Structure 1
Amino acid sequence: MIIAGYSSGGWLAHDLAAHLERTGVPVTALLLLDSYLPEEEMEQTETRSEFMREQIRRRDLMGMALNRPDRTVTTSGQIAAMGGYSRIFSGWRPGPLKAPILHLLASEVVAGLPTSSEDHPFPAELAHRVRRLPGDHFTILSQHADLISANLHDWLTEVHPI
């Protein structure tokens, strides 16, 4: 079983992998896509505000470009989910896994978002491999999915040769 998590979904993916390993379910690999550690409480307010402003700006631009007014407003559900993840995982730190971990990071910074390798990194000793890919936190999945796929394929072939 391969488990993947994007952004704060990496926290959930890592915890799921740890839980499965504890219960005897083998995990083949964990893929983290531009995931970073939760911020300390003191840092959250300003960073989250800046990030939300950027999210709203991007959503508004996309909605206007697609002529879809329904896509120009960040929903209260999205804001509540982001706040919920931050509260649930406040102070959380990942532990070691038996499964190898591939951490693919965006090379470009988004306003209001910590840079994975500098501000709030997953501990380097936990990852089998860390790679930087072109794009930012948002475009890494949309514009660079082919690179994610190629990196994952090459890495899986290396750590689990047939």
Structure 2
Amino acid sequence: MMNFRILFFALTLIFLLSIIGCSVINDTNKIADNNSKVTDVSNKEDFGGSSESPTLKPPSLTVYVGEKIVRPSLGTYSWSVDNGDGTASGIEAGSSTPPELVKDSNPMQATANTNIELDFEVQPESYTVRIWGDDNNVVNSSVEFFLSGKGKIVYEVLAHWEQGTASYAFSLDVE
């Protein structure tokens, strides 16, 4: 009976200490857009320092379709930032394919000669525009944006920065 009490006390003590020990970790787990799954997070300890934390999300993208604005869905991304103290924080978020991300959105109307402009919050080092087919496969990839085909077309913009990469998805109804 005495051994049971000692074992119970020891297990309770270990449990409480592990909960207290984990409470000083700055939790950077954030749910990514579009029900994405976070697969890697930072465990930077926070002992009451600066409340400013680096942004663990890629810059936003705005797409201008003629005079109208499209806000693409943020898809899969990998992003890391230097904390300024010799450490880095990073996140990797996975998502569905671009056609799945935009399947419930209403595509904006466009014609073959509509002017399309990609406006990044921070200009990437490079980007690629992909066109996705009905069978969830990439049918075209280019470093320039162009309208092709007719009907609902799903576009993915895959952008690269020094801090990482990000995928953005949107659809247009091309007449």
Structure having the larger proportion of residues in helix = 1
| TM-score bracket, shorter-length normalisation | under 0.3
TM-score by length of structure 2 reads 0.22
Bigger relative CO (Cα 8 Å, ≥ 6 apart): 1
TM-score by length of structure 1 reads 0.23
Structure having the larger proportion of residues in strand = 2
